[in-house]
Structure 1
């Protein structure tokens, strides 16, 4: 009992001292004035690129993209009417530039006449970091999930085969869908071990579906994911091998974010 009273008394004294110090201080003591954040002009709409964004696709050409299988070859998807459409015979495409942490905006559309069911219905993928040829990397699934039943860690808005989305805000086929992504790349220790895992936040048509989730590693179709050491990486779009009508994309832009020391 005496010990408890002594502890309580000590806490009261400490609290009184803290309050006295606060009262003796000035509001200016806790004001931070530098560094001053840079001025960024927002887009004229919720989907328009802000002033410091790099435009990855503006409807005109694929100058910012290359073939995933041969990075010396240009991307060979179709560009017409301000949109680009998957060319399933040309394989995946990815950005010329590599990125670490970023904010990404991308719009995609499943054709109104889409056929097939499950994973064979409007299947593509946004690889948040491409770490090799083919489908190697961290995949945010793209799929027609409007009244289309499939495994829930493979539906639109999922981190494929890893994390189920918090909701399904998919619009009907033929309507444009929007992904807004905040990507924090994984970091690795000198020996190659994971220091901090990759993390991602995803807004799907304005609805939060991934809330700063931690990834288990790159996407794998079979088995459990495991990390491999890598640095900055391109962003990849998938040309899926199903036989359904190809998807289209428009209005893709990115803002690089600072790498925070761990």
Structure 2
């Protein structure tokens, strides 16, 4: 029943009176210090591996995010709880064999996280984390001299990474991975650069180009259809191409990739499919999570056969600004 005095008041005053009687919504999490991107280093069962998490505000008070394990792609977090320095979230398995959720609990002190990841199989992995650098550049890049990383004669600029037997060879002037084996990285490390290379994948083939050893641009015999971040030219799990520009299996194709800070432009076969977009964080298979440091270029060789040729990189001169 409406109070009789309300009938005698103008609508504006009634609205104000009712609003005054209602509890105010308090955006308790709006300034939570956990908000942001975090580079993690996890102590696994046999080795340390990189990981990454992003936390952001949905609406006034709900924290959500996305999380990258040491493999696969970044997966969404439906809710992050943060209370007096303690962080917790869970998320369903992605490529893990067991059906249980991944459980993550951490303590935030300043700009440092320490915590535990409970895997679906019950294993507990300790981790530490630091706030990810912005990598924001305030000046135009000054480009140096082009460096030929592979010109068709030798692999002197490259070295296989641990984790398998290398199947990389120079065959007929081509940098060839004959079958699944080790990944291949440049001996030299880079910060900002523009990269040109040509590649050929067999039917069903799969490889990848890791920028600074941390951000994978997908190389594969992709199906036709809607572009995806996990298909050819996508930054794996983060950035989808704006169109399908691939030529198919068994055909030589070209990439021209520019990376400045977190900003990436990908040109596939002469078409700009990703235009000056921000890479949020590391992708699955990254060598480490030290995003502020230079890193090598590495070619994925642990999936299928693939061929590369004419690999050239032009780095920036001096420290990025």
Q: Normalised by the size of structure 2, how large is the TM-score?
A: 0.50
Contact 2:227 2:243 in 1 (8 A): no
Q: How many angstroms apart in 1 are the aligned matches of 2:193 and 2:291?
A: 19
In 2, Cα distance between equivalents of 1:161 and 1:238: 16
Alignment of 1:237 onto 2:296: no
Residues 101, 259 of structure 1: 8 Å contact kept:
no
Change (3 A) 1:261 1:255: closer
1:247 to 306, 312, 318: 306
Seen in structure 2, the aligned counterparts of structure 1 residues 210 and 81 have a Cα distance that, compared at 3 Å, is same
1:61-119 per-residue CA deviation (whole Å, 9 max, x = no partner) reads 1110001228xxx96502111111114453100001001111100100013xx2xxxxx
Q: 2:209 aligns with which of 126, 134, 139?
A: 126
Displacement after TM superposition at 1:220 (Å): 2.8
Could you report, residue by residue, the CA deviation over 1:183-233 in whole angstroms, capped at 9, with x for unpaired residues?
Answer: 113xxxxxxxxxxxx111111000001111101100037xxxx96444111
Asked if the contact 1:65–1:75 (Cα under 8 Å) also holds between the matched residues in 2, the reply is no
CA shift, 1:173, in A, is 1.6
Structure 1 counterpart of 2:197, from 99, 106, 127? 106
Within-5 A mapping of 1:39-188: 52-69=145-162, 76-111=167-202, 114=203, 121-130=204-213, 137-145=214-222, 147=224, 152-185=228-261
Q: Partner of 2:229: helix, strand, or coil?
A: helix
Higher relative contact order (CA 8 A, sep 6+): 1
Q: Which residue is 2:124 aligned to?
A: none
- Per-residue Cα deviation, 1:122-162 (whole angstroms, up to 9, x for no partner): 110000111xxxxxx11000011253x68711110100010
Counterpart contact for 1:158–1:165, Cα < 8 Å: yes
Work out the number of aligned pairs and report it. 178
- Residue 316 of structure 2 corresponds to 257
In structure 2, C-alpha distance between the alignment counterparts of 1:258 and 1:217, rounded to whole Å = 24
Q: Which runs of 5+ in 2 are unaligned?
A: 1-141
Deviation of 1:261 after TM superposition, in Å, equals 5.4
Instruction: Assess, with a 3 A threshold, how the Cα gap between structure 1 residues 85 and 150 changes in structure 2: closer, same or farther.
Output: farther
Shift of 1:254: 0.6
Structure 1 runs (4+) deviating above 6 angstroms are none
Superposed CA RMSD: 2.8
2:284 is aligned with 1:220: yes
Which structure is higher in helix share? 1
Query: Structure 1 length as normaliser, TM-score?
Result: 0.61
Check whether the contact 1:139–1:160 (CA below 8 A) recurs between aligned residues: yes
Structure richer in strand, relative to its length? 2
Cα separation, 1, equivalents of 2:274 and 2:222: 16
Kept in 2, the 8 Å contact 1:146–1:173? The answer is no
